[in-house]
Amino acid sequence: MIAEAGLAALWLAAALSLLQLVAGGLAVRGVDVASLVRPVAVAQGALAAFAFAALMLVFARTDLSVALVAANSHVDKPMVYKLAGTWGNHEGSMLLWIAVLAVSGAAVAAWERRLPERTMIATLAGQAAIALGFYAFLLIASNPFARLSPAAAEGRGLNPVLQDPGLAFHPPTLYIGYVGLSVAFSFAIGALVTREVGPAFARAMRPWVLGAWVFLTLGITAGSYWAYYELGWGGWWFWDPVENASLMPWLAATALLHSVSVLATRGALSAWTVMLSVVAFSMSMVGTFLVRSGILTSVHSFAVDPTRGAFILLLLSIYVGGALALFALRIGTVREGTLFQPISREGALVANNLLLSAILGIVLVGTLYPLGVEAIAGEKLSVGPPYFNAATGPLALLLVVIMAAGPLLRWRRDRIVALARKVALPAILLAGGLAATLLLAPGLRILPLLGLSIAFGVGVASLAPLWGRSLRRTPLFTWGMVVSHLGIAVALGGMASESAFSRETLVSAAVGETAEVGPYRIRFEGVTPASGRNWTAVEARLTAERGDDVLVLTPQARIFAAPPTETSEAAIATVLDGQLYTVLGKPGADGHWQLRLWWKPFVTLIWLGGGLIALGGLMSLIGRVRRERRPAIWAAFA
Amino acid sequence: MKAKHQRLTLAALAVFAVGGSAVLAMSGLKDQAAYFYAPEDAAGGRAPVGKASRLGGMVMPGSIQRSNDGVSIRFVVHDAAASVPVRFTGITPDLFREGSGVVAEGRFLADGSFLADNLLAKHDERYMPPSAAGPGKLTRTDTLR
Amino acid sequence: MRVKGQGLLLWAPLLAFVAFFALVAAGLFKPADTAVRSKLIGKALPALTLPPIVPGHPGLTGEERGPRLVNIFASWCVPCAAEVEELARLRARGVVIDGIAVRDTPAELSAFLARHGNPYRAIGSDAESRSMLALGSSGVPETFVVDAAGVIRYQHIGAIGPQDFEAILRAVEDARTI
């Protein structure tokens, strides 16, 4: 029953999105149906949300007569993971995608009143057009509510690696980010259609972009931390195609949120802002395509199906191709922005956009390269961290340096001398940091070395906009910028430290033996059996000593029942200046056990930095909304 | 003069930045991408020495030898036509077994053997080609379910 | 206010997208190359001598004749269980099927056959996957269509699903007519 209700709601929502598109299109041309569009958008959002809730309920009850539940859940799973199983598969996650799409469209329809009504109608029509394609995909090629007859007995179970609190909530966060960017895309379409690209458009779009970006930042940060502790290799980013698929929209969205601020406050970079709005959501769609089509397999890939891939590719070409064509046709009619000199805040933001776009291009090329080579030359190859790190590292470092200097430049025109005075202190600290690192830790490779020094200098520089101001009266969105930029410096410091100073020890140890890693001496106390609700394990007990501190770590080698899988659960101890990361390997014939031990100084700064970046974005969002809400509230009540 | 050209300049810069980075990326990729080889390719001298590469095939039954330090192993990867000795130090993935498929990431040495930094093991049930391999922890590479 | 040259630049992103689309479409639509294809298609099936493993079925002696399927499977292989149904359908259409059980035990294999069905004529035991190597097979399950002259005509990688039934049947028909 519930499944059928969910399916019916989905069909109804699809029909409403068609109505929204048609009514919107007609209204833009002057037919008097504009009053339909907003209510229909809200209703569509409600129905899509209902459909998703129905799917969650079906998973919560482990209704094994629904094929999706039978394939992805199990009666014995803890409730949290039963719920998370809703989106741990292709169909469910596509339903999540479309629910977020529809609900964000509904939110825009309900609350956004700052733009001329015609532009808003065009925006909602754009949102409906996108939704329609994905509804079609879902209903035709990926029905989540299909029944299974006869019903399964137990369910195949969710991959044990997914049964983890961090990962359970990582997809929804990411999806709100990815799909939230669709709002920016629709705004751009609406503005191009009605030729309303300007500061008002930028001010209206900004909070939506910030909101999506905050979620995307959190989702990526959480995903990175999850991979770090779950996969047991001590790495936090693998340049896996699906990771890249989440990074590319983030890069575009970061450029977009800077560009939209310039357009909002200075009236410049209108073409950039529109283009980036299109690119950001296009990258979200490209990412979805890459992961679900099977052309690039990765550890994250959903069930591989070329026909689904073809469907998404078709949708992609319609939306992205259409938007880019619209851009080329209409952008010429948008007013040129106000002028600015190269040495100015606008200039720094242009450099910011260029560098982010260049990094985006490098990541995209690296991700698609294996595909291209195989299609053209028939050779199989893989592109991994050596390429990505070497190619993006220097550009990223340059970008971070510009990030420190940019906020200190004046709008329109500034002089190098004035800038030099403001950055003098951070620059000295950077040079000092570089010298200190060279002295204390010789032999580092160039990228981590520069990374450490730059992180230090930029961290201080990011606070510079606050110097000499009354902190209480500094606007919240300025604080937000400071916190986010500081977060980038902190994260960079963590990355460089992990790269430069991590120590690894790999031993085969008998019970009672010790090994050293970094400043710790680890003693292997023994192994005992352990078990949980749907797993059994061998657990090692390790004591780690450093001076007077003693830590106990218990890494496990686990076996899950349904589906039968072996995993390794690393044991991580976090101390003030880093993390001790321990993994239990295989037993040898002589009673020795393999142990892999890492000491990673300051590695937690990576995710702390990510959290700060997102926090800064949230502060900016709240700050902007508070400042601008007053007129809008009156308009909503009028 | 500046007004008319500002947008054009910015647009040109954009295309140059993205296009230029893509071109640089491609040339960097030539050196950094890891090509996949089967033992047959290695025997035929088609595998370059010293460059990052991947070697894929079956683990020859009876060939796994564990060394005294407990964490290094030697084994032989073979296909119908040839075999290549491999050395690896580290924790082997759970499904790494004799008679099973494996992809080793590392490089070929001058003596024709392969020094692996990383091993990815596959379920036999559905062998995916090495180009499809991701990190070997999730050894079923077709679904995340 | 349009400046010369600006027009061309404006269409650059769309052109870049078209190039991306072409690349990706090529990757998507080229024949699915998800495994290493046997180099023996068109060549003679290697003579395989494999001992029997379950009662009632001879092993492989290398003397088998006639157009048939050679199916590589195992009791521990989950997709193999699913494909037995299709093999039974093929058997019902008169197709002869010889099996090669890879790294299996008599007890588990008997249980597997009892549970899922038994379409096989002969079943040979291959404890070391030698036959897989000889046949250029890269995984389990895998099926080869062999004609009366002992030439391998067709290779199907992975489990035979309902959608593959017709293709395999046609390959067997072709194999009958040399």
Round to whole Å and give the CA distance between B141 and B137.
10
Which of C4, C9, C10 should be substituted to probe chain A, the one whose Cβ sees the most A Cβ atoms within 10 Å? C10
Residues paired with A595 in a beta bridge? A507, A584
Average pLDDT, chain A: 88
Task: Count CB pairs under 8 A between chains A and C.
Answer: 58
Closest Cβ–Cβ partner in C6, C12, C34 for B7: C6
Q: Which of B2, B5, B18, B125 is the best residue to mutate to test the C interface, defined by the most C CB atoms within 10 Å of its own CB?
A: B125
Residue B32 has pLDDT above 90, yes or no: no
3-state SS class at C4: coil
Cβ of B129 within 8 Å of Cβ of C35? The answer is yes
Report residue C71 as tokens.
């199916």
Q: Which residues pair with C156 in a beta bridge?
A: C143
Token digits of residue A320:
């992205």
Question: With 80 as the cut, is the pLDDT of residue A116 above it?
Answer: yes
Residue C25 touches chain A, beta carbons under 8 Å: yes
Tokens of C8: 């061309």
Q: What kind and span of H or E run contains B90?
A: none
**CB distance C68 to C98 below 8 Å:** yes
State the amino acid at position A502 in one-letter form. Answer: S
pLDDT tens across A6-24, in order? 999 999 999 999 999 999 9
Lowest mean pLDDT among B100-104, C6-10, C33-37: C33-37
Q: Do C139 and B5 touch (CB under 8 A)?
A: no
Chain A stretch 330-389, residues whose beta carbon is closer than 8 A to a beta carbon of chain C: 331-332, 336, 368, 371-372, 374-375
Q: What is the pLDDT of residue A304?
A: 56
Which among A306, A317, A324 has CB closest to C13? A324
Q: What is the pLDDT of residue A167?
A: 73
| DSSP codes of every residue in A113-162 | -SS-HHHHHHHHHHHHHHHHHHHHIIIII--TT-B-SSPPSS-----GGG
Over residues A159-187, mean pLDDT: 84
C111 touches chain A (CB under 8 A): no
Q: What is the DSSP letter of C50?
A: B
How far apart, in whole angstroms, are the C-alpha atoms of residue B113 and residue B141? 27
State the pLDDT at residue B132: 30
CB-based contact A520:A601 (threshold 8 Å): no
Band of pLDDT at residue B2, cut at 50, 70 and 90: low
Evaluate if residue C50 carries a pLDDT over 60.
yes
Q: Which of A134-143, A370-379, C54-63 has the lowest mean pLDDT?
A: A370-379
CB A297 within 8 A of CB A164: no
Query: Which chain A residues are closer than 8 Å to B66 by Cβ?
Result: 588-589
Residues of C in contact with B4 (CB under 8 A): 1, 3
pLDDT band with cut points at 50, 70 and 90 for residue B129? very low
Which of A16, A51, A13 is closest to A37 using CA atoms?
Answer: A16
Whether B135 has a pLDDT exceeding 50, the answer reads no
Interface contact flag, A375 C6, Cβ < 8 Å? no
- Determine what percent of chain B falls in helix, strand and coil, rounding each to the nearest 5: 25, 30, 40
| DSSP label of A506 | E
Q: Identify the band that residue B38 occupies on the pLDDT scale cut at 50, 70 and 90.
A: confident
User: What value does the mean pLDDT of chain B take?
Assistant: 74
H and E: helices and strands count for chain B? 2, 7
Helices C6-29 and A270-293 pack at an angle, to 10 degrees, of 10
Q: What digits encode the pLDDT tens for the residues A242-283?
A: 889 899 999 999 999 999 999 998 888 998 999 999 999 999
Give the H/E segment covering residue A528: strand A520-531
Residues in chain C: 178
Of C3, C103, C140, the CB nearest to B8: C3
Residues C139, B124: C-beta atoms closer than 8 Å: yes
What pLDDT score was predicted for residue A305?
66
Neighbours of A29 (CB within 10 A): 8
- How far is it, in rounded angstroms, from Cα A379 to Cα A235? 28
Closest CA to B28 of C24, A450, A393, C22: A393
pTM for the model stands at 0.82
Chain C: residue nearest A379 by CA?
C33
Question: A-contacting residues of B 75-134, CB under 8 Å?
Answer: 89-92, 94, 128-134
In C85-131, the DSSP E strands lie at 96-102, 123-126
Q: Which of C3, C14, C76, C77 to mutate to test the interface with A (most CBs of A within 10 A)?
A: C14
A176-180, A336-340, A493-497: least confidently modelled range: A336-340
pLDDT at B128: 31
pLDDT digits (tens, 9 = 90+) for B13-27: 888 888 888 888 887
Q: Name the pairing type of β-strands B114-121 and B83-89.
A: parallel
Of C7, C10, C28, the CB nearest to A293: C28
Chain C residues 121-150 within an 8 A CB cutoff of chain A: none
In DSSP notation, A450-474 reads: HHHHHHHHHHHHHTGGGTTS-GGGS
Q: Which residues does C contribute to its contact with B (CB < 8 Å)?
A: 1, 3, 5-6, 9-10, 12, 33-36, 39, 74, 77-80, 102-103, 128-129, 132-134, 136, 138-141, 158
Q: Is B58 on the interface with C (CB under 8 A)?
A: yes
- Cβ burial, residue C114 (10 Å; 0-12/13-18/19+): exposed
pLDDT at position B130, please?
Answer: 30
Confirm or reject contact between A314 and chain C (CB < 8 A). no
As a whole-number percent, the residues of chain A with pLDDT over 90 amount to 53
Q: Which two tokens stand for residue A192?
A: 């191009």
Using an 8 Å CB-CB cutoff, list chain B residues near C78: 125
How many C-beta atoms surround the C-beta of residue A637 within 10 A? 6
Provide the pairing of β-strand B65-66 with A549-553: unpaired
User: How many contiguous H segments (helices) and E segments (strands) does chain C have?
Assistant: 5, 5
Distance CA A77, CA A87 (A): 15
DSSP H helical ranges for A378-445: 385-405, 416-440
> Is residue B121 within 8 Å of residue B92, measured between CB atoms?
yes
Taking a C-beta distance cutoff of 8 angstroms, is the pair B113, A271 a contact?
no
Residue A181 CA to residue A282 CA, distance in Å, equals 9
pLDDT tens column, C127-155: 777 787 777 776 778 899 998 888 888 88
Residue A324: per-residue pLDDT: 93
Scored b (16 or more CB within 10 A) or e, A546-571 reads eeeeebebbbbbbbbebeebbbbbbb
Q: In chain A, helix, strand, coil percent, each to 5?
A: 65, 10, 20
Q: Does pLDDT of C36 surpass 70?
A: no
H or E element in which residue A292 lies: helix A270-293
Q: Do A271 and B10 touch (CB under 8 A)?
A: yes
Q: Which residue of B has its CA nearest to C127?
A: B99
Measured CA to CA, the distance from residue A508 to residue A588 in angstroms comes to: 8
> Is the pLDDT at A623 greater than 60, yes or no?
yes
- Selected residue of A295, A363, A368, A376 to mutate for chain C interface (largest C Cβ count, 10 A): A295
CB half-sphere exposure, A436, CA atoms < 13 A: 11
Q: Which residues pair with A569 in a beta bridge?
A: A556
* B82 to B37, B46, B50, B100, C150: CA distances (angstroms): 12, 13, 20, 16, 25
Count of CB atoms within 10 A of residue C84's CB? Answer: 22
SS3 C33: coil
Closest in B133, B134, B145 to A303, CB measured: B145
DSSP A244: H
CA nearest neighbour of A76 among A565, A560, A529, A569: A560
Query: Worst-scoring range by mean pLDDT, A51-60, A394-403, A450-459, C78-87?
Result: C78-87
What share of chain A has pLDDT > 70, as a percent? 95
CA distance A24 to A35: 9
List, for residues A346-369, the tens digit of each pLDDT value.
899 999 999 999 999 999 989 888
DSSP state of A529: E
pLDDT value at residue C34: 46
The alpha-carbon gap from B112 to the nearest alpha carbon of chain A, in Å, equals 20
- How many residues appear in chain B? 145
Sheet holding A593-601, edge to edge: A503-509, A593-601, A578-587, A571-575
Q: Which two tokens stand for residue A379?
A: 């050779």
Read off the pLDDT of residues A198-250 as tens digits, 9 standing for 90 and up.
Answer: 899 999 999 999 999 999 999 999 989 988 988 778 889 989 888 898 999 99
* CA-wise closest residue to B76 among B94, B91, B88: B88
Question: Would an 8 Å CB–CB cutoff place B12 in contact with chain A?
Answer: no
Query: In the block, which residue shows the tokens 């410096």?
Result: A489
Cα A581–chain centre separation? 25
Report residue A542: phi and psi, to 5°: -125, 135
More confident residue, A422 or C77: A422
Is the alpha carbon torsion for A26, A28, A34, A37 positive or negative? positive
Range with lowest mean pLDDT among A203-212, A546-555, B115-124: B115-124
Q: What is the pLDDT of residue A294?
A: 67
Residue A564: predicted pLDDT? 64
- Round to whole Å and give the CA distance between A28 and A24: 6
Q: Give the residues across from A575 on adjacent strands.
A: A578
Task: Give the nearest chain B residue to A71 (CA atoms).
Answer: B145
Please indicate if any CB of chain A lies within 8 Å of the CB of C32: yes
Largest CA distance in chain B: 78
| pLDDT digit string, tens, across residues A293-337 | 767 655 454 555 677 888 888 999 999 999 999 999 988 888 777
Instruction: Tell me the mean pLDDT in the region A117-141.
Output: 93
Residues of chain B found within 8 Å of residue A238, distances taken between Cβ atoms: 135
